[in-house]
Amino acid sequence: MQRRHFLQTSFIATLASSLYAAAEGRTPRLILRSSWQTVNIGDIAHTPGVLALLEKHLPEVEVRLWPSNLDNGVGEMLAARFPKVKVIRGEDVKKSFEECDFLLHGSGPSLVAQADVVKWSQSTGKPYGVYGITFSGQQSSKGKTQPAVKTIDVLSAAKFVYFRDSVSLELAKKTGCTCPLLEFGPDGAFAVDLKDDAKAEAFMKEHGLEQGKFLCCIPRLRNTPYWTLPEKKAAIDEKKDARNKAMMDHDGKPLLDAIVSVIKNTDLKILLCPEDKTQMKVGKEMLYDKLPEEVKSRVVWRESYWLTNEAISTYRRSAGLFGHEMHSPIMCIGNGIPAIVCRWAEQTSKGYMWRDIGLGDWLFDLDKEDELQKVAATVLAMAKDPAGSKAKAEKAREVVMAHFAASMKVVKKVWQ
């Protein structure tokens, strides 16, 4: 489809359809396209975060969830927290295209469901918006019956696009995005309020962890080795595997130094925990097995994967978190818990959101030697000043929540 035709038809459709619900005198209906995968608690978190925001700020709107994946107990977890939200698949999706007024693409590493957004726009003529994504440049999406449409054109035709980091926002502008509202908008995972206190407390009791007396640490490899997970059915990527092995010691060292420093200079313990299903092994091989024996007695290695609710309940009881991941820190800050982020070239620009919410001095690029050297000292400083660190985290949380409140007003205007 030609760019001009796609943009023109989307704009006309937006004008025509924004008043559907009001004209029919019924409850507005919204489809949330989200839930990308369940092998990563961060990817899981996108959905309950945005659902919680919609529940709080748009209680009058009927929300239907169109997921990619809700297995591994995630569907049950979401149903328990959001019993009013209908999950749609198959024929229910087709019916919802007819009945719903607006499609909201949820947070993610990109415009993940671009083909579905295009399908919605072309088949219904109704508006859509994008909420809290990273944009890394051009890509084209082509479905079985759809011509290729460039990402920038799909974004341009949206009612609004919120990018979860300012780097993505600026890139979209430079690439020529003409959406009428382009702004920074935090990842929806900041708003997650799931919990499983019973599981968290049972695990802590079993491993001698006391509330406020431990830090969480999450290591990762340069490239997630999804090929090691049976459910992914993926062939090994030799190039990425080689890169992982080459950088493991380099990337693990600042975390090892931080762990040793915290153990030697405070009375805190360390919990090595995962954000995705591959990281239990990473935690053992990159960190636990390389720790001095005198340090290991105060380091707990979590051997099993967990879901987002148990993880958040654990983070809330910790003194803070540090490591190579992004979404566990996001969930921590969303709950007022201090969190330090380490990043590198292989990751997208999402880490720069830490600067956008006032936590630039808790963000480190491990490809820069001068920044790598500062990690251990910063983690120790966070550990030794719990009150100051929590105040800093809470200030960042307030920034995030203010952005959420403003962006949800924009979503609400779709029906006004």
Average of per-residue pLDDT across 381-393: 98
Is residue 163 one of the residues assigned to a domain? yes
* 209 and 174, same domain (yes or no): no
* 103 and 242, same domain (yes or no): no
**Cβ–Cβ < 8 Å for 169, 137:** no
**pLDDT value for 22:** 58
* 143 and 222, same domain (yes or no): no
SS3 content of the chain, % helix, strand, coil (to 5): 50, 15, 35
**pLDDT value for 26:** 85
Average of per-residue pLDDT across 282-308: 97
* 153 and 240, same domain (yes or no): no
Distance CA 238, CA 312 (A): 34
* 205 and 118, same domain (yes or no): no
Q: Residue 242 pLDDT > 70, yes or no?
A: yes
**Cβ–Cβ < 8 Å for 135, 98:** no
* 258 and 143, same domain (yes or no): no
**Cβ–Cβ < 8 Å for 39, 231:** yes
* 97 and 240, same domain (yes or no): no
Q: Residue 81 pLDDT > 70, yes or no?
A: yes
Distance CA 335, CA 52 (A): 14
* 162 and 283, same domain (yes or no): no
Q: In three state form, how does the secondary structure of 166-177 look?
A: HHHHHHHHHHCC
* 166 and 211, same domain (yes or no): no
Average of per-residue pLDDT across 319-328: 98
**pLDDT value for 341:** 98
Is residue 396 one of the residues assigned to a domain? no
Backbone dihedral region for residue 23 (phi beyond 0: left; psi -120 to 50: alpha; all else: beta): alpha
Distance CA 295, CA 398 (A): 36
**pLDDT value for 318:** 98
**pLDDT value for 304:** 97
Q: Residue 123 pLDDT > 60, yes or no?
A: yes
**pLDDT value for 147:** 56
Q: Residue 184 pLDDT > 50, yes or no?
A: yes
* 203 and 156, same domain (yes or no): no
Q: Which of 46-50, 354-358, 381-385, 411-415 has the lowest mean pLDDT?
A: 411-415
Q: How confident is the model at residue 220 (pLDDT cuts 50, 70, 90)?
A: very high
**pLDDT value for 289:** 98
Distance CA 372, CA 193 (A): 32
Is residue 390 one of the residues assigned to a domain? no
Is residue 391 one of the residues assigned to a domain? no
**Cβ–Cβ < 8 Å for 167, 349:** yes
Q: What is the mean pLDDT of the chain?
A: 93
Is residue 350 one of the residues assigned to a domain? yes
Average of per-residue pLDDT across 154-169: 97
Task: Count CA atoms closer than 13 A to 220's CA, side-chain side.
Answer: 25
Q: Residue 24 pLDDT > 90, yes or no?
A: no
Q: Residue 46 pLDDT > 50, yes or no?
A: yes
CATH number of the structural domain spanning residue 12: 3.40.50.720
Global pTM exceeds 0.85: yes
Is residue 280 one of the residues assigned to a domain? yes
Residue 79: its H or E element: helix 74-81
* 328 and 314, same domain (yes or no): yes
Query: Per the structure, how many domains does the chain have?
Result: 2
**pLDDT value for 3:** 55
Residue 205: its H or E element: helix 197-206
* 18 and 63, same domain (yes or no): yes
| Token pair in block for residue 60 | 């009058």
7 or 346: which carries more pLDDT confidence?
Answer: 346
**Cβ–Cβ < 8 Å for 10, 43:** no
Q: Residue 148 pLDDT > 80, yes or no?
A: no
Residue 178: its H or E element: none
Q: How confident is the model at residue 16 (pLDDT cuts 50, 70, 90)?
A: very low
Is residue 213 one of the residues assigned to a domain? yes
CATH number of the structural domain spanning residue 320: 3.40.50.2000
**pLDDT value for 85:** 98
Tokens 């420093």 correspond to: 261
Contacts of 246 (CB under 8 A, 6+ apart): none
Q: Which residues of 48-84 are buried (b: 16+ CB within 10 A; e: fewer)?
A: bbbbbbbbeebeebbbbbbbbebebebbebbeebbee
Is residue 150 one of the residues assigned to a domain? yes
- Domain hosting residue 79, numbered range: 3-191+401-415
Q: Residue 44 pLDDT > 80, yes or no?
A: yes
